[in-house]
Amino acid sequence: MKSGSSQQPGHSTKADAIGTSSPCADCRVRQLNICSVLLSAASGEEILPGKESDWQDHKATRAHKNIKSAGERSDQVYVICDGWAFRFVQLPDSRKQILSILIPGDVITPTRLFDKNVRFSVQALTDLRYCRFASSILRAKLIADLAFLDAWAKLLVAERQHNFGLLIDLGSRTADERIAHLILDLKLRLERRGMMVERSFAFPVSQRLIAAATGLTPEHVSRVMGSFRRAGLIENGKGFLRIVDLPGLQRIGGLNL
Protein backbone atom coordinates (compact mmCIF):
# COMPACT_ATOMS: atom_id res chain seq x y z
CA MET A 1 0.00 0.00 0.00
CA LYS A 2 1.47 3.26 -1.01
CA SER A 3 1.33 6.12 1.45
CA GLY A 4 0.56 8.98 -0.86
CA SER A 5 1.34 11.84 1.43
CA SER A 6 0.52 15.02 -0.40
CA GLN A 7 3.74 16.93 -0.74
CA GLN A 8 2.46 20.11 -2.26
CA PRO A 9 5.04 22.42 -3.67
CA GLY A 10 5.71 25.63 -1.80
CA HIS A 11 5.98 26.11 1.92
CA SER A 12 3.94 28.59 3.89
CA THR A 13 5.30 31.26 6.18
CA LYS A 14 5.53 29.91 9.65
CA ALA A 15 5.45 32.71 12.16
CA ASP A 16 2.03 34.23 12.52
CA ALA A 17 -0.13 36.31 14.79
CA ILE A 18 -1.96 33.22 15.88
CA GLY A 19 -1.08 31.39 19.07
CA THR A 20 1.26 28.50 18.63
CA SER A 21 -0.70 26.06 20.73
CA SER A 22 -3.09 25.30 17.88
CA PRO A 23 -2.13 23.47 14.72
CA CYS A 24 -3.90 26.29 12.94
CA ALA A 25 -0.84 28.37 13.75
CA ASP A 26 1.03 27.22 10.71
CA CYS A 27 -1.83 26.16 8.52
CA ARG A 28 -1.08 27.00 4.97
CA VAL A 29 -4.62 27.58 3.84
CA ARG A 30 -5.98 29.39 6.87
CA GLN A 31 -6.26 32.70 5.08
CA LEU A 32 -7.80 31.15 2.01
CA ASN A 33 -10.81 29.26 3.22
CA ILE A 34 -13.68 29.48 5.66
CA CYS A 35 -11.26 29.47 8.57
CA SER A 36 -10.35 33.03 7.74
CA VAL A 37 -13.82 34.00 8.89
CA LEU A 38 -14.03 31.40 11.58
CA LEU A 39 -10.81 32.24 13.34
CA SER A 40 -10.76 35.98 12.92
CA ALA A 41 -10.56 37.61 16.29
CA ALA A 42 -13.20 40.15 15.37
CA SER A 43 -15.83 37.60 14.73
CA GLY A 44 -16.78 36.26 18.11
CA GLU A 45 -15.90 36.00 21.73
CA GLU A 46 -15.53 32.32 22.35
CA ILE A 47 -13.94 31.29 19.12
CA LEU A 48 -10.44 32.46 19.44
CA PRO A 49 -7.42 30.86 17.91
CA GLY A 50 -4.77 29.57 20.20
CA LYS A 51 -6.91 27.82 22.71
CA GLU A 52 -7.95 24.50 21.37
CA SER A 53 -10.66 23.19 23.56
CA ASP A 54 -14.29 22.28 23.52
CA TRP A 55 -15.13 23.89 20.21
CA GLN A 56 -12.28 22.62 18.08
CA ASP A 57 -9.87 19.75 17.85
CA HIS A 58 -7.58 18.23 15.29
CA LYS A 59 -7.23 14.69 14.05
CA ALA A 60 -5.18 12.77 11.56
CA THR A 61 -5.92 9.73 9.44
CA ARG A 62 -3.99 7.44 7.17
CA ALA A 63 -4.68 7.33 3.47
CA HIS A 64 -7.59 5.13 2.33
CA LYS A 65 -9.30 5.20 5.70
CA ASN A 66 -12.96 6.13 5.92
CA ILE A 67 -13.53 9.25 7.94
CA LYS A 68 -17.28 9.04 7.94
CA SER A 69 -19.73 6.55 6.58
CA ALA A 70 -23.18 7.23 5.22
CA GLY A 71 -25.86 6.69 7.81
CA GLU A 72 -23.82 7.78 10.80
CA ARG A 73 -24.84 10.76 12.83
CA SER A 74 -22.51 13.43 13.93
CA ASP A 75 -22.44 16.78 15.59
CA GLN A 76 -19.26 18.08 14.13
CA VAL A 77 -18.19 19.94 11.08
CA TYR A 78 -14.92 18.81 9.53
CA VAL A 79 -12.44 20.96 7.68
CA ILE A 80 -9.39 19.60 5.88
CA CYS A 81 -6.13 21.05 7.11
CA ASP A 82 -3.83 19.03 4.92
CA GLY A 83 -4.19 16.19 2.45
CA TRP A 84 -6.95 15.13 0.10
CA ALA A 85 -10.20 13.24 0.58
CA PHE A 86 -13.35 12.47 -1.34
CA ARG A 87 -17.06 12.16 -0.72
CA PHE A 88 -18.77 9.15 -2.22
CA VAL A 89 -21.73 6.84 -2.02
CA GLN A 90 -21.32 3.12 -2.10
CA LEU A 91 -23.69 1.51 -4.57
CA PRO A 92 -25.11 -1.93 -3.94
CA ASP A 93 -23.14 -3.44 -6.81
CA SER A 94 -19.93 -2.35 -5.11
CA ARG A 95 -19.43 0.55 -7.45
CA LYS A 96 -18.71 3.92 -5.96
CA GLN A 97 -19.98 7.24 -7.19
CA ILE A 98 -17.66 10.05 -6.16
CA LEU A 99 -19.56 13.20 -5.30
CA SER A 100 -16.61 15.48 -4.84
CA ILE A 101 -12.90 15.51 -4.43
CA LEU A 102 -11.78 17.54 -1.45
CA ILE A 103 -8.53 19.47 -1.18
CA PRO A 104 -6.85 21.23 1.73
CA GLY A 105 -9.07 23.96 3.10
CA ASP A 106 -12.34 22.38 1.99
CA VAL A 107 -15.18 21.83 4.39
CA ILE A 108 -15.94 18.15 4.36
CA THR A 109 -19.45 18.38 5.73
CA PRO A 110 -20.85 21.87 5.27
CA THR A 111 -24.46 20.87 5.86
CA ARG A 112 -23.75 19.05 9.09
CA LEU A 113 -24.62 22.34 10.73
CA PHE A 114 -28.22 21.78 9.80
CA ASP A 115 -28.52 18.07 9.34
CA LYS A 116 -26.86 15.58 11.63
CA ASN A 117 -27.47 12.72 9.27
CA VAL A 118 -24.52 11.98 7.09
CA ARG A 119 -25.72 11.14 3.62
CA PHE A 120 -22.49 10.00 2.09
CA SER A 121 -19.18 8.51 3.08
CA VAL A 122 -15.88 10.30 3.18
CA GLN A 123 -12.55 8.64 2.63
CA ALA A 124 -9.04 9.97 2.98
CA LEU A 125 -7.24 9.95 -0.31
CA THR A 126 -3.87 10.73 1.17
CA ASP A 127 -2.70 10.89 4.74
CA LEU A 128 -4.94 13.53 6.16
CA ARG A 129 -5.08 16.09 8.90
CA TYR A 130 -8.40 17.67 9.62
CA CYS A 131 -10.12 19.85 12.15
CA ARG A 132 -13.43 19.25 13.86
CA PHE A 133 -15.71 22.04 14.99
CA ALA A 134 -18.67 21.54 17.28
CA SER A 135 -21.86 22.21 15.33
CA SER A 136 -23.52 23.89 18.28
CA ILE A 137 -20.81 26.52 18.48
CA LEU A 138 -20.91 27.19 14.79
CA ARG A 139 -24.66 27.46 14.87
CA ALA A 140 -24.47 30.02 17.62
CA LYS A 141 -21.95 31.94 15.63
CA LEU A 142 -24.14 31.70 12.58
CA ILE A 143 -26.95 33.71 14.12
CA ALA A 144 -24.67 36.01 16.08
CA ASP A 145 -22.35 36.95 13.27
CA LEU A 146 -23.84 38.05 9.99
CA ALA A 147 -20.52 37.86 8.16
CA PHE A 148 -20.23 34.24 9.15
CA LEU A 149 -23.72 33.44 7.99
CA ASP A 150 -22.88 35.00 4.67
CA ALA A 151 -19.64 33.13 4.38
CA TRP A 152 -21.29 29.85 5.17
CA ALA A 153 -24.09 30.50 2.73
CA LYS A 154 -21.52 31.30 0.10
CA LEU A 155 -19.92 27.95 0.79
CA LEU A 156 -23.17 26.12 0.25
CA VAL A 157 -24.00 28.10 -2.86
CA ALA A 158 -20.59 27.37 -4.32
CA GLU A 159 -20.99 23.69 -3.64
CA ARG A 160 -24.39 23.71 -5.27
CA GLN A 161 -22.93 25.41 -8.29
CA HIS A 162 -20.22 22.81 -8.41
CA ASN A 163 -22.78 20.05 -8.29
CA PHE A 164 -24.64 21.60 -11.19
CA GLY A 165 -21.42 21.56 -13.15
CA LEU A 166 -21.03 17.88 -12.37
CA LEU A 167 -24.58 17.20 -13.48
CA ILE A 168 -23.85 18.85 -16.79
CA ASP A 169 -20.72 16.76 -17.15
CA LEU A 170 -22.36 13.46 -16.39
CA GLY A 171 -25.54 14.24 -18.26
CA SER A 172 -24.37 15.84 -21.43
CA ARG A 173 -20.67 15.52 -22.02
CA THR A 174 -18.27 13.00 -23.47
CA ALA A 175 -15.52 11.21 -21.61
CA ASP A 176 -12.88 13.60 -22.94
CA GLU A 177 -14.84 16.60 -21.82
CA ARG A 178 -15.56 15.23 -18.38
CA ILE A 179 -11.97 14.39 -17.64
CA ALA A 180 -10.61 17.65 -19.00
CA HIS A 181 -13.16 19.51 -16.94
CA LEU A 182 -12.25 17.61 -13.82
CA ILE A 183 -8.61 18.50 -14.28
CA LEU A 184 -9.39 22.14 -14.95
CA ASP A 185 -11.67 22.30 -11.95
CA LEU A 186 -9.02 20.91 -9.65
CA LYS A 187 -6.46 23.26 -11.14
CA LEU A 188 -8.67 26.24 -10.41
CA ARG A 189 -9.41 25.20 -6.87
CA LEU A 190 -5.78 24.41 -6.08
CA GLU A 191 -4.77 27.72 -7.54
CA ARG A 192 -7.09 29.54 -5.22
CA ARG A 193 -5.50 27.76 -2.30
CA GLY A 194 -2.03 28.64 -3.45
CA MET A 195 -1.12 25.05 -4.20
CA MET A 196 0.09 25.36 -7.74
CA VAL A 197 3.64 25.88 -8.94
CA GLU A 198 3.85 26.99 -12.51
CA ARG A 199 1.45 24.75 -14.31
CA SER A 200 1.86 21.71 -12.13
CA PHE A 201 0.33 20.57 -8.90
CA ALA A 202 0.09 17.61 -6.59
CA PHE A 203 -2.33 15.09 -8.00
CA PRO A 204 -2.78 12.05 -5.78
CA VAL A 205 -5.82 10.91 -7.72
CA SER A 206 -5.79 7.43 -9.16
CA GLN A 207 -7.44 6.74 -12.48
CA ARG A 208 -9.82 4.46 -10.66
CA LEU A 209 -10.98 7.48 -8.70
CA ILE A 210 -11.27 9.67 -11.74
CA ALA A 211 -13.38 6.93 -13.24
CA ALA A 212 -15.68 6.79 -10.24
CA ALA A 213 -16.02 10.56 -10.31
CA THR A 214 -16.76 10.87 -14.01
CA GLY A 215 -18.98 7.84 -14.35
CA LEU A 216 -16.49 6.03 -16.58
CA THR A 217 -14.38 2.91 -16.28
CA PRO A 218 -10.73 3.00 -15.26
CA GLU A 219 -9.76 1.54 -18.63
CA HIS A 220 -11.45 4.30 -20.50
CA VAL A 221 -9.94 6.93 -18.25
CA SER A 222 -6.55 5.48 -19.03
CA ARG A 223 -7.21 5.73 -22.74
CA VAL A 224 -8.34 9.32 -22.50
CA MET A 225 -5.49 10.43 -20.26
CA GLY A 226 -3.12 8.70 -22.62
CA SER A 227 -4.54 10.57 -25.56
CA PHE A 228 -4.26 13.84 -23.65
CA ARG A 229 -0.64 13.07 -22.97
CA ARG A 230 0.08 12.14 -26.55
CA ALA A 231 -1.68 15.31 -27.70
CA GLY A 232 0.67 17.35 -25.54
CA LEU A 233 -2.07 18.66 -23.30
CA ILE A 234 -0.81 17.33 -19.99
CA GLU A 235 2.06 15.53 -18.37
CA ASN A 236 1.62 13.43 -15.32
CA GLY A 237 3.68 11.17 -13.17
CA LYS A 238 3.47 9.70 -9.75
CA GLY A 239 1.37 12.06 -7.69
CA PHE A 240 1.60 15.15 -9.80
CA LEU A 241 0.07 16.62 -12.90
CA ARG A 242 1.19 19.41 -15.15
CA ILE A 243 -0.97 21.25 -17.60
CA VAL A 244 1.13 21.76 -20.69
CA ASP A 245 -1.44 23.23 -23.04
CA LEU A 246 -4.00 25.09 -20.98
CA PRO A 247 -5.94 26.63 -23.88
CA GLY A 248 -6.08 23.25 -25.55
CA LEU A 249 -7.44 21.63 -22.43
CA GLN A 250 -9.94 24.42 -21.99
CA ARG A 251 -11.12 23.98 -25.53
CA ILE A 252 -12.08 20.46 -24.56
CA GLY A 253 -13.18 20.75 -20.98
CA GLY A 254 -14.15 24.36 -20.44
CA LEU A 255 -17.74 24.89 -19.42
CA ASN A 256 -18.65 27.13 -22.33
CA LEU A 257 -21.94 28.35 -21.03
Partner DNA sequence: CGGTCAATTGACGAATCTCAATCACCGTGG
Partner DNA sequence: CCACGGTGATTGAGATTCGTCAATTGACCG
The residues that touch its own copies, with contacts defined as CB under 8 A, are 70, 89-92, 95, 97, 99, 111, 113-115, 119-120, 142-143, 146, 149-150, 153-154, 156-157, 159-161, 163-164, 166-168, 170-172, 213-215, 256-257
For residue 224, the one-letter residue type is: V
- Residue 220 touching DNA (CB under 7 A): yes
In angstroms, the CA 243 to CA 233 distance is 6
The answer to whether the beta carbons of residues 213 and 101 sit under 8 Å apart is yes
Residue 54 contact, options its own copies, DNA, none, Cβ 5-8 Å cut-off depending on partner type: none
- Residue 207 touching DNA (CB under 7 A): yes
Question: Rounded to the nearest whole angstrom, what is the least distance from the CB of residue 81 to DNA in the complex?
Answer: 23
Question: Rounded to the nearest whole angstrom, what is the least distance from the CB of residue 161 to its own copies in the complex?
Answer: 6
What lies within 8 Å, CB to CB, of 153 at 6+ separation is: none
In angstroms, the CA 113 to CA 131 distance is 15
Question: Rounded to the nearest whole angstrom, what is the least distance from the CB of residue 171 to DNA in the complex?
Answer: 9
Question: Rounded to the nearest whole angstrom, what is the least distance from the CB of residue 217 to DNA in the complex?
Answer: 4
- Residue 175 touching DNA (CB under 7 A): yes
Q: Sign of torsion, CA 69 108 204 246? A: positive
Question: Rounded to the nearest whole angstrom, what is the least distance from the CB of residue 157 to its own copies in the complex?
Answer: 5
Question: Rounded to the nearest whole angstrom, what is the least distance from the CB of residue 86 to DNA in the complex?
Answer: 13
Return the residue of 10, 14, 94, 238 that touches DNA, per CB under 7 A.
Answer: 238
- CB nearer to DNA: give 36 or 207: 207
Residue 15, CA distances (Å) to 12, 42, 104, 114 in order: 9, 20, 20, 35
Residue 217 contact, options DNA, its own copies, none, Cβ 5-8 Å cut-off depending on partner type: DNA
In angstroms, the CA 148 to CA 38 distance is 7
Residue 160 contact, options DNA, its own copies, none, Cβ 5-8 Å cut-off depending on partner type: its own copies
In angstroms, the CA 49 to CA 18 distance is 6
- Residue 176 touching DNA (CB under 7 A): yes
The answer to whether the beta carbons of residues 135 and 76 sit under 8 Å apart is yes
Residue 43 contact, options DNA, its own copies, none, Cβ 5-8 Å cut-off depending on partner type: none
DSSP 8-state class, residue 41: G
A 10 A CB-CB count for 213 gives: 24
- Residue 92 touching DNA (CB under 7 A): no
The answer to whether the beta carbons of residues 61 and 67 sit under 8 Å apart is yes
In angstroms, the CA 17 to CA 251 distance is 44
Query: Which stretches of the chain bind DNA, using CB under 7 A?
Result: 1-3, 174-176, 206-208, 215-220, 222-223, 225-226, 229, 238
